[in-house]
Amino acid sequence: MNVLRKILQILISLFILLAGVGLMMLLIKKGPKVAPNPPQVIKPLVEVHLVQLVNEKVVLSADGQVRAQRESDLTAEVGGKVLSLHPRFEVGEVFEEGEILVTVEDADYRTVVANVESQVAEAKLQRSLEQARAEQAIRDWNSISSQKKPNELVLRKPQLEAAQARLKAVEAQLEKAKRDLNRTEIKAPYPCRITSTSIDVGSQIAPGSVLSQLISVGATEVRALLTQEDAALLKEKEGKVSGAVKAFSLEGNHHWKGDLVRSEGIIDLKSNSIPVLISFTGESAPPVGMYVRLEIEGITLEKATVIPRLALKGDQVFVVENSALKKKKVTVTRRFKDSVLITKGLSSGDQILVTSLSTPIEGMEVEVKQAP
């Protein structure tokens, strides 16, 4: 009896379980169906830079120290004792070309001139005597024999040539003696300013001694260094670089106008840059020694644009087209602190992505933030 009861209980349990499963299947099949919701795509909100292609006039930046166009040592060409100095022979004083700055004692040089002048007079006399002797020798020969031709020695040609050579030599000595006498007055070689002196009255100097250092007055110049990239953007005319230049004091309260006059055309090995020379003339010349900031006018680039530097990814940028990102390869001609100059790869109206996204990919959908 107990066994039959247990079997009956198991059968009843199985029946109830199967009935429940069947009922559940029936409810699933016949019950109302719920349409699934599609996953919602969240588009990141981004900012863009609108491209406008224009003819961009390049302005190159550089800096440098102003220097005089000429710098030289004032040196002695003859030796002796310094007899006198110009009353203003001091650092900072300005002189015109030809002003006498230093006078060397000239007594010995005057003596040399006088001695050589006497030698010249003697040589002229000897030449005249030899000319007279040569003429007399011709007359004597003709009176003895008019048929036979006399040799040069009979006609005293070697003696006459020697007298003429002697005269020429002493005349050259006289010219040198006079030049040395003139060199006892040491003059300003060009309009100049004295930057240092190394002698005084009574100093003993030798040929080649440095008496002072000079710089030219008036026009000044700046030797600036440009990167090879910037040097390629300089204007050229008839094979030479040119362009207007503005120079600014470091404080920014003074400025001057100048001209780009030449490029040295070689690379400075220390800086890997190309030196260029800027000239300033007249009242628009900054003072010697001042450090200035330069703006050099370069070429005009057609269909160029400046974009924020953060938008550049290597040599590519992302643009937004139809609410999706697209890559474009660009040509970067110049780089600034916060921007770059693009000359190829973009079109007017392009919307360049400037928002920093963690993993931007081509085709990614975005929403452009509208300007307020």
User: CA 216, CA 237: separation in Å to the nearest integer?
Assistant: 28
Last residue of a domain, one of 273, 299, 325: 299
In a domain? residue 26: no
User: CA 197, CA 212: separation in Å to the nearest integer?
Assistant: 4
In a domain? residue 35: no
Look at the block and give the residue holding tokens 């006079």: 178
Q: From first to last of its 372 residues, what are the pLDDT tens digits of the chain?
A: 566 667 767 777 777 777 776 667 766 666 566 566 666 667 889 999 999 999 989 999 999 999 999 999 999 999 999 999 999 999 999 999 999 999 999 999 999 999 999 999 999 999 899 888 888 877 777 777 666 777 777 678 888 889 899 999 999 999 999 999 999 999 999 999 999 999 999 999 999 999 999 999 989 999 999 998 899 999 988 889 999 999 999 887 889 999 999 999 899 888 899 999 999 987 778 999 999 999 999 999 999 999 999 999 989 999 999 989 999 999 998 888 899 999 999 999 999 999 988 888 899 999 888 755
Same domain membership, residue 64 and residue 50 = no
Same domain membership, residue 195 and residue 91 = yes
Same domain membership, residue 288 and residue 155 = no
Q: Are 246 and 294 in contact (CB under 8 A)?
A: yes
Provide the residue type at 26 as one letter. Answer: L
Overall domain count for the chain: 4
Q: What is the pLDDT of residue 77?
A: 95
Last residue of a domain, one of 280, 299, 318: 299
CATH assignment of the domain containing 87: 2.40.50.100
Q: State the virtual CA torsion across 135, 139, 145, 146 in degrees, nearest 10.
A: 90
In a domain? residue 25: no
Angle between helices 107-144 and 157-182 (to 10 degrees): 170
Tell me the CA distances in angstroms from 233 to 225, 236, 268, one per residue in order: 14, 9, 18
| Length of the chain counted residue by residue | 372
Classify 153 as helix, strand or coil. coil
Tell me the CA distances in angstroms from 229 to 163, 226, 333, one per residue in order: 70, 8, 8
Tell me the CA distances in angstroms from 199 to 124, 192, 207, 232, 344, one per residue in order: 43, 18, 14, 48, 64
In a domain? residue 2: no
Same domain membership, residue 318 and residue 194 = no
Last residue of a domain, one of 217, 234, 259: 217
* Structural domain range at position 310: 46-56+302-368
Q: Which residues pair with 85 in a beta bridge?
A: 102
CATH assignment of the domain containing 333: 2.40.420.20
